[in-house]
Amino acid sequence: MASTISKFSVFFLLVFAPIFVFAQPEDIEVYGTVKEGLSKLRGASVTVYSGGKQYLSESAASGAFSFHLPYGQDYVIHFSKSGYVTKMIEVKAKGVERELVQTKQKFDKWEVSLFKRLDGVDYSDLDEPIGKVFFDFKKREFASDSEYALGKLKKIEELEKKQEKRQKELEKEEEKVRAAAAASAAAAAKEEAEEKAKEEAKEKAEAEAKAKEEAEEAEEAKKKAAEEAEKKAAEEAKAKVEAEAKAKAEAEEEKKKAEEEAKEKAEEEAKAKAEAEAKKIAEEEEAKKKAEEEAKKKVEEEAAKKEAEEKAKKKAEEEAAAKKRVEEEEKRKAEAEAREKEKKKAEEAAKALEEEEKQKALALEKASSEAEREKAKAELAAAKEAKAKQEAEEKKAAEERKAQEEAAATEKAAAQEAEKKADEERKAQEEKEIKAAAAAAAAEIAAKPEPKPEPKPEPKAEPKPEPKPEVKKEPKKPKYVLDEFTGFKEFDHEHDDYHLHISEEFPMGITEEIHDDGKKIETRRIVVREGHGHIYKKVEHRWGGKFFFKDERSISEVEFQRESTIRKEHRRH
């Protein structure tokens, strides 16, 4: 009982990892088994509640269950059976919409262990869910509340001790009842056995007398039958020897004839097979060479096409830029001419004001009366004020024109810089695409499996020569200290001998090895191409962490997936 409860509680912390598939997820898939100890518990039921109401109920008659839960609601799943303690698991999916989930949310197989309810044990700690699942909106996937589950695990361990203590008490009480019943039954059985023994002794004596008489009659009949059987067996043995001799002679003749026919047929088939194999290898070599040439030609054509498109695009952009510069130059020229006209007009207006001011000054000097002089002074002051105002407006207009010219120059420089940067980024992207296309074509050619040679026909058996005395050879020492899983432990990852040794130990292509030690899952992919090998490794910890390595050097998941594509024919577990 103790091992069963602990096993489920720890197991619950690990099962909520979504399986990634390239499809829009519709709902959450839940499946598994209800157990008692290590065996399936038949007759259990699984009931799902949402919002305090029953959502669905399923009978796990054979111990197995499977159902789907839509997003957008919270659920409490009850696992129960009459006479057993009910357990619950909470799944919080409220607020989760289908568009938020990128991968199918299919949990690993659940194993829920129930145990029998005993009188005198407090099971109130199981009135709450033993585990909780929630949606991580940041990661866009479901995860388990490990802290909550660990807390429930401690309470279940305490309940486990109470359960075991109560079970021992009940067993002691039952033992006392069984002992009393056994003593009573033993006394009755003894009396009955004595009476039965007397009856059996009487029947035995009568049976022995009857058996003796029947045995004597059977012995006489047996003796007579044996004499007849001996005579018949002698006749049959003689006929059998004669038939076997005849059949043996016929079989040897047939065997000799069949061997000669089989030999002739095997020689013909071997010859035809060798010719077909040679033809097949030549055709495959020709096809491989043709595919390589086509791939190379395709890459060169794409590169040339890209270059032509780039030149045309660059030419169009240069023409557009030249046209824009001409338009801007014409605009600036028109603005300069307008400013020049305004300046000339302002100078003429200033000259006119200055002339008017001189005239008024002369008029003031010539004025004969006091009133005329006052009027001339006022007109002179007004003329000076108008001149000052005009000069201030001209200064302000000149500053505004200068600011506009500086802003236009800054905007033009920024536009030229942005255009230059966009052009560089576009060129880099196109170079990257060309390299990627070439790499993909090379990878496709390298990924084609090598033709496997057909087994050669066995040569005709020659007489075995006399055996030569065996010469014992010293075993070769390994270049590296090997471990039992990867084949490597102490090595220099930067040394060419290390990569060569990998290519000698593993077949051409990609080999996958998976190891699960209970705490983490390690997936190793050994990639061998053109006599050069690398070891890629993915480490998935039970607590959710994932790490990727190439020859024990940390890399990204994108590099891992791109450089270690699996071929089914080389997968090894």
Q: Read off the CATH number of the domain in which 73 is found.
A: 2.60.40.10
Same domain membership, residue 126 and residue 17: yes
CA distance 272 to 266: 10
68 within domain boundaries: yes
Max CA distance (Å), the chain: 194
**Residue found under tokens 């609601």:** 73
Boundary residue ending a domain (387, 416, 447): 447
User: Looking at the predicted structure, is the pLDDT value of residue 1 above 50?
Assistant: no
Percent of the chain with pLDDT strictly greater than 70: 82
- What are the tens digits of pLDDT across the range 335-346? 888 888 888 888
Average pLDDT, the chain: 80
**What is the domain range of residue 20?**
2-144
Q: What is the pLDDT of residue 291?
A: 81
Q: Is the pLDDT of residue 489 over 50?
A: no
Given the DSSP bridges, would you call strands 64-69 and 39-40 parallel, antiparallel or unpaired? unpaired
Which of helix, strand or coil describes residue 463?
coil
**Residues near 569 by beta carbon (within 8 Å), at least 6 away in sequence:** 449, 509
**H helices, E strands: number in the chain:** 5, 16
Using alpha carbons, list the distances in angstroms from residue 138 to 14, 71, 101, 104: 20, 17, 11, 16
Q: pLDDT tens digits for 50-81? A: 998 999 999 888 889 999 999 999 999 999 99
Query: Looking at the domain assignment, is residue 180 inside a domain?
Result: no
Rounded CA gap, 250 and 153, in Å?
A: 80
Q: Would you give the DSSP letter of residue 65?
A: E
**Together in a domain, 415 and 535:** no
Confidence bin at 101 (pLDDT 50/70/90): confident
If one compares 184 and 458, the residue with the highest pLDDT of the two is: 184
Of 43-57, 79-93, 182-196, the range with the lowest mean pLDDT is: 182-196
* Same domain for 139 and 23: yes
Inside any domain, residue 158: no
What would the pLDDT profile of 398-424 be if each residue is shown by its tens digit? Answer: 888 888 888 888 888 888 888 888 878
Do 326 and 395 fall within a single domain?
A: yes
User: Do 443 and 500 reside in the same domain of the chain?
Assistant: no
On whether both 103 and 13 belong to a single domain, the answer is yes
Q: Are residues 7 and 127 in the same domain?
A: yes
- Residue 178, pLDDT > 60, answer yes
Instruction: Give the confidence band of 524 by pLDDT, cuts at 50, 70, 90.
Output: very high
Is it the case that residue 573 has pLDDT exceeding 50? no
Residues 420 and 539 in one domain: no
pLDDT of residue 548: 95
| Separation of alpha carbons 48 and 66, rounded Å | 12
The domain boundary residue, chosen from 385, 417, 447: 447
Among 235-249, 329-343, 488-502, which stretch is predicted with the lowest mean pLDDT?
488-502
Q: What is the mean pLDDT of residues 480-496?
A: 50
Which pLDDT score, from 0 to 100, does residue 528 have? 92
In this prediction, residue 6 carries a pLDDT of 36
Q: Which residue has the tokens 């357990």?
A: 87
Q: Is residue 183 part of a domain?
A: no
Strands 110-113, 28-36: pairing is parallel
User: Region 568-573: what's the mean pLDDT?
Assistant: 46
The CA distance from 548 to 557, in Å, is 6
pLDDT, average across residues 490-519: 82
Domain count across the chain: 3
Closest CA to 346 of 294, 393, 280, 410: 393
Tokens 């999916």, residue?
Answer: 93
Instruction: State pLDDT tens for residues 118-143.
Output: 888 888 888 889 888 988 888 888 88
Helix, strand, or coil here: 302? helix
DSSP characters over 470-533: P---PPPPPSSBPPTTTS-SB--TTSHHHHHHHHHHS-SEEEEEEEE-SSEEEEEEEEEETTEE
One-letter amino acid at 533 equals: G
Do residues 298 and 386 share a domain? yes
pLDDT in tens, 305-325: 888 888 888 888 888 888 888
In a domain, 443, yes or no: yes
Pair (413, 503) in one structural domain: no
- CA 353 – CA 303 distance, rounded (Å): 73
Enter the DSSP assignment of 466.
Answer: P
Is 192 domain-assigned? Answer: no
Q: How confident is the model at residue 511 (pLDDT cuts 50, 70, 90)?
A: very high
Q: Is the pLDDT of residue 481 over 50?
A: no
- Asked if pLDDT for residue 486 goes beyond 50, the answer is no
Model confidence pLDDT, tens digit, residues 199-217: 888 888 889 888 988 998 8
Could you give the CA distance from residue 197 to residue 20 in angstroms, rounded to a whole number?
Answer: 76
Question: Could you tell me which of 37, 128, 35 has the C-alpha nearest to residue 87?
Answer: 128
Which tops the pLDDT comparison, 385 or 106? 385
Q: Of all residues in the chain, what percent carry a pLDDT higher than 90?
A: 16
Does a structural domain hold residue 279? no
pLDDT score, position 514: 94
- Three-state SS across 27-60? CEEEEEEEEECCEECCCEEEEEEECCEEEEEEEE
The mean per-residue pLDDT over the stretch 413-439 comes to 79
Query: Is 99 among the domain residues?
Result: yes
Measured CA to CA in angstroms, residue 206 lies from 36, 200, 214 at distances of 56, 10, 13
Q: What does pTM read for this prediction?
A: 0.33
pLDDT tens column, 351-380: 888 888 788 778 777 766 778 778 878 888
Identify the band that residue 492 occupies on the pLDDT scale cut at 50, 70 and 90.
low
pLDDT surpassing 60 at residue 192: yes
Q: Of 530 and 89, which is predicted with more confidence?
A: 89
In this structure, the answer to whether residues 426 and 520 fall within a common structural domain is no
Q: Which residues contact 269 (CB under 8 A, 6 or more apart)?
A: 457
Domain end, chosen from 109, 144, 179, is at 144
Q: Which of 2-16, 155-169, 484-498, 505-519 has the lowest mean pLDDT?
A: 2-16
Please give the helix or strand (H or E) that residue 69 lies within, else none.
Answer: strand 64-69
pLDDT confidence of residue 25: 60
Q: Please say if the pLDDT value at position 547 is more than 90.
A: yes
Q: Are residues 440 and 535 in the same domain?
A: no
Highest mean pLDDT among 34-43, 138-147, 426-435, 482-491: 34-43
3-state secondary structure of 135: strand
Q: How far is residue 452's CA from residue 454's CA, in Å, rounded to a whole number?
A: 6
Taking only the tens place, the pLDDT of each residue in 260-310 is 899 889 888 888 988 898 898 888 888 888 888 887 788 788 878 888 888
Task: Give whole-number Cα distances, 87 to 44, 58, 90, 201, 532, in Å.
Answer: 12, 15, 10, 62, 55
Give CA separation, 179 vs 168, 169, 174, in Å.
Answer: 16, 16, 9
Backbone phi and psi for residue 278, each to the nearest 5 degrees, phi listed first: -60, -40
CA distance 213 to 334: 150
Say whether pLDDT at 2 is over 60. Answer: no
Residue 235, classified by CB atoms within 10 Å of its CB into exposed (0-12), middle (13-18) or buried (19+), is exposed
* DSSP category for residue 2: H
